[in-house]
Amino acid sequence: MAAVTLSSAPELSDDQLLARFARGDRDALDELFCRYRSAAYRVAYRLLGREADALDAVQESFIKALTHIHNFQGRSSFKTWLLRVVSNASLDLGRQRGRREALCLDAVVSTEPEAGPLVTFDRPTQGLEREELRDLLQEALAALPEAQRRTFVLHVEGELNYREVAEVLGISIGTVMSRLFYARQKLRAYLGRRVER
């Protein structure tokens, strides 16, 4: 199987690639895939928590996004459309596979801090290997309400700005800001249990 390599040719716009894809150009599909696969994967991973599931969600999302491409054209960017599909597919997949963690932040906060590796907000990687930090962040994200988690992940991992997140979720920019604010508070409260003081 041939490896997928990133193209170094002059960049075509997403619209140009989509037009080529509509004419059956397989290279256009490859370029779109390479362009957005990482963002899609990060969003899916943060919502699902497992690499294999995230890759499944990415594959399913590219198929859905390109199959129903007529639903987005002219109204948003392809990336926004794709990440909308990714977040929906990830949540559907998570529910189907029954692995959505029912972790309640309030319960966690009310308990004593668990023993374990400590992180600091000044030097977040101190005292933790990357995998440990990644798992800790997954735990913290799982403690957020679904709406806040989606908003946070789309903004931080999907690299969507507030307006784009608002488009994806069908909410106002003010609501996006509000959700991000509360998500940050809860994440800091959760992670603060591990903070070295």
Partner 1 sequence: MNPRRNPTEPMRSDPIGSDLREMFRAGAPAEPSEAEWATVLEGVRRGLERPHVTATPVARRWRLGALMAAALAAAAVVALALAIPYFRTAPLEITDEHADVVQFPVTDTEDVEILSVDTADSGAIVVGDLPLQKPIVFMEPGDVALRSLQRDAEGDFPDVHMHPEGEQSPMIWAPLSVKP
Q: Between residues 93 and 128, which has the closer beta carbon with respect to partner 1?
A: 128
Residue of 18, 10, 35 whose CA lies nearest to 74: 18
Closest approach, Cβ 85 to partner 1, in A, equals 12
CB 186 within 8 A of CB 149: no
Closest approach, Cβ 169 to partner 1, in A, equals 13
Q: How far apart are CA 165 and CA 172, in angstroms?
A: 9
Other beta carbons within 10 Å of 52: 8
- Phi, then psi, of 195 in degrees rounded to 5: -80, 135
| Binding residues vs partner 1 (CB under 8 A) | 1-5, 26, 29-30, 33, 37-38, 41-42, 45-46, 51, 54-55, 58-60, 62-63, 66-67, 119, 121-122, 124-125, 128, 130, 133-134, 136-137, 152, 155-157, 159, 161-164, 172-175, 177-178, 180-181, 184, 187-188, 191
Closest approach, Cβ 9 to partner 1, in A, equals 18
